[in-house]
Amino acid sequence: MIKFGTDGWRGIIGEDYTAENVCLVAQAIAEYVNNQGKGKRRLAVGYDARFMSKRFAQWVARVLAANEIDVLFSETMCPSPAVSWAAKLLDTAGGVMITASHNPAEYNGIKFKTTFGGSASPEVMAEIEKCLRNIEVSGIKPRLIDFEQGIFERRITYFNAVDLHQQELKKIINFDLIAKIQGKVVFDAMYGSAMGYVTKMTGQILNLSEIRAVFNPGFAGINPEPIGPNLAVLMAEVKKQGALVGLATDGDGDRIGAVDADGTFVNAHQIFAILTKYLVEKRGWRGEVARTCTVSKLVELVAEKYGLKTHLTPVGFKYICDLMLARDVMIGGEESGGIGIKNYIPERDGVLLALLLLEAIAAYGKTLGEMLQEMAVDLGNFYFDRIDAHIEQEQKINLMKYLGEGHVKEIAGARVTETVIMDGVKFITEDGWLMFRPSGTEPLMRIYAEASTPAKLLELKNFGKKLIS
């Protein structure tokens, strides 16, 4: 059965992610849009660099057009935030992005973006899923027209999602400041749809080289997620070139990862903290901070230092997006590298974040590592890691039931001071925390841990692995 996760629907290509099921989801989206009344009946459609993504996007466009919804179809592959921005700028009812984000190469998916240019709320996704269930029960086949017929009849028109997105980024980013950087910069596209972006926008002002920026739907055997284990190539390249920094975006360009000048991985929590500091100290911004329940304590402490109110949400940028729409959120993000800022659409954008990190490096005249060392002196050390452990569905259910019943009183010799049940189960101790969260799209249990020393972090991780086994 097709089931939506934290950010749309994802499945394995050729198994549950098929042309037939993609058309069913597209029909559900069409019915949701048409049910909204006489308002906007136009959607932007984009796709990433995955296997057959353009073809799947064409199927979506064919269904939407057959349901009397005008389609703006991206001329080329593009990052997800390009579709989000187009959804707002072009006054549409939203956008559809064909991508499985950071998932393995055998996956693909569908993200739905709403008219304000952000992730659809849980309520909107529930309405689309309700439409899908009704279609499945009725047995009615999705409406479909030929793609070329849609072009001929102007129900489907091409547009340049990339140019529109880059034009907006140029309004936000201080390129004169970035131009002051003395040193090499390496950008890792991870074979994703943001390839060429940073080079095109900064190639004339920076000594920049780009790696893994060719079409490779298999992602060379790695998951296109900018976390430490997947960035060994970037780490090596930064050290080889003697670069000042390495920056990476994921498969659909909405997440960020970084590597310091010494080849050390800089995780999303640290990036979140650096950007919070930069926006307050150098850009003079104020507002609130929103973080998902898997984000480091460091972010909370940085916010407290500047007197910024913080909010805690379940995992999924759609929850951050809701807060950004309702409140004056200066910055909001999640552990996976999806971070959004105010004065933009309420959306994560890896390219925007990469450029902001370059601004911070130029403004402070320091490497990312030097900025983090200063934070550690002020706020302490925070060591974080995540384990993705394979687990069968029945085992998932039994483990989460056990954890939620209050059996765990002590972890690695430390007393549990608080148990938070939010999108999983999080145990907070006197010197760190451990969280168990079942994946909604893969047969995985994600174990998150944070402590003040590497040794204590290892103890937490070993405890978590032992509980699963």
Q: What sections of 1-115 are H helices per DSSP?
A: 19-34, 53-66, 80-89
Angle at 214 between CA 210 and CA 218, to 5 degrees: 125
Task: Specify whether the CB–CB gap between 199 and 257 falls below 8 A.
Answer: no
Q: Which strand (E) or helix (H) includes residue 259?
A: strand 256-259
**How far, in Å, are 116, 118, 331, 368 from residue 265 at the CA level?**
34, 29, 22, 10
Looking at the predicted structure, is the pLDDT value of residue 224 above 70? yes
pLDDT, tens digit (0-9, with 9 covering 90-100), for 65-107: 999 999 999 999 999 999 999 999 998 999 999 999 989 999 9
Question: Helix (H, G, I), strand (E, B), or coil: what is residue 436?
Answer: strand
Instruction: For residue range 111-169, list pLDDT tens digits in order.
Output: 999 999 988 888 899 999 999 999 999 988 999 999 999 999 999 999 999 999 999 99
- Give SS3 for 213: coil
Task: Provide long-range contacts, Cβ within 8 A and 24+ apart, for 61-64.
Answer: 61/147, 61/150, 61/156, 62/23, 62/144, 62/145, 62/146, 62/147, 62/150, 62/156, 63/23, 63/26, 63/27, 63/30, 63/142, 63/143, 63/144, 64/26, 64/29, 64/30, 64/96
Q: Which two tokens stand for residue 219?
A: 């992602």
Burial class of residue 137, CB neighbours in 10 A (0-12, 13-18, 19+): exposed
Long-range contacts at 406-412 (CB < 8 A, ≥ 24 apart): 408/467, 411/460, 411/463, 412/456, 412/459, 412/460, 412/462, 412/463
**Cα separations in angstroms, 55 against 18, 22, 195, 326:** 11, 11, 20, 37
pLDDT value of residue 344: 95
Residue 6: pLDDT band (50, 70, 90) is: low
Tell me which amino acid residue 101 is: S
Q: Token digits for 431?
A: 């010197």
Buried b / exposed e across 318-347, counting CB within 10 Å, b at 16+? bbbbbbbeeeebbbbbbbbbbbbbbebbbb
Domains along the chain? 9-165 (3.40.120.10), 176-379 (3.40.120.10), 383-468 (3.30.310.50)
The identity of residue 451, as a single letter, is: A
pLDDT confidence bin for 441, thresholds 50/70/90:
low
Q: What percentage of residues in the chain have a pLDDT greater than 90?
A: 84
